[in-house]
Amino acid sequence: MKTRKILLAEDDENLGLLLKNYLNAKDFSTILTTNGREALEAFSKEDFDICILDIMMPELDGISLAKEIRKVNLDVPVIFLTAKNLKEDVIEGFKTGADDYITKPFSMEELIYRIDAIMRRVGEPASQKKQEFYNIGEYKFDTVKQLLTFREHTMKLTTKESELLELLCRHKNEIMERNYALKAIWIDDNYFNARSMDVYITKLRKYLKKDPSVKILNVHGKGYKLLQ
């Protein structure tokens, strides 16, 4: 099994070194950077399996760094570390495509659990007998290539967008339970992950709005329903 490579961006050098040494002891290969610009430069030179980014950093903050990373790689998992616990920061972080959000202080064991949960999700075999194509009204959805096509226009979805849309398609015209989706895609149905899913539902609604016959409905207290 190949060693998974982590980009760690943390401006607190003591915490950064502590995290790096712990992650390396757990058989990761960790590149530590102490500001956003340095992290972006490292990301441009090497391939990483996961990025762990502090929100508050000099030169380039974690959210801005994540936006730059997403311009070149839609799929690499991103975990934010932050001492802040404001809902606005959580939502803004998830809008960049973050996979998880950990508030300081946290235990090393919790960080490893979150990393392992994300890596299990993104590392699942592509051939789990999932349906390759779905027709959603006038849209065509390629689940393998993660492409959503409307007439002559095709867009590439992120991994999480694709997974969520695929779950909705599997339950087309039925209720997709909220907790089921959270545990299937985000592993944990905590508050922050629930807010993340809300952001992704909003994105999918925007992508599908060209066909007025396609709707993603909120089913109060239960979940969502994809109608066409």
Work out the average pLDDT over 202-222.
94
Q: Is the domain covering 133-227 a CATH 1.10.10.10 domain? A: yes
87 or 198: which leads in pLDDT: 198
DSSP type of residue 179: H
Would the pLDDT of 89 be above 50? yes
Question: What six digits make up the tokens of 75?
Answer: 């799929």
Say if 4-122 and 133-227 have the same CATH topology.
no
Q: Where is 63: in which H helix or E strand?
A: helix 62-72
Count CB atoms within 10 A of the CB of residue 18.
13
Rounded CA gap, 16 and 124, in Å?
29
> Which pLDDT belongs to residue 129?
47
Class of domain 4-122: alpha beta
What is the domain partition of the chain in residue ranges? 4-122, 133-227
Q: Are 40 and 62 in contact (CB under 8 A)?
A: no
Share of the chain above pLDDT 90, in %: 53
DSSP type of residue 157: P
DSSP type of residue 3: P
Would the pLDDT of 31 be above 70? yes
Give the tens place of pLDDT for each residue, 54-75.
Answer: 998 989 999 999 999 999 998 8
Q: Which of 20-34, 81-95, 205-219 has the lowest average pLDDT?
A: 81-95
Would the pLDDT of 34 be above 50? yes
Q: Where is 55: in which H helix or E strand?
A: none
β-bridge pairing 175-177 and 223-227: antiparallel
Question: What six digits make up the tokens of 189?
Answer: 């149905």
Query: What pLDDT band is residue 84 in, cutting at 50, 70 and 90?
Result: low
Residue with tokens 């991103």: 78
> Which pLDDT belongs to residue 159?
86
Give the tens place of pLDDT for each residue, 187-204.
Answer: 777 888 888 999 999 999
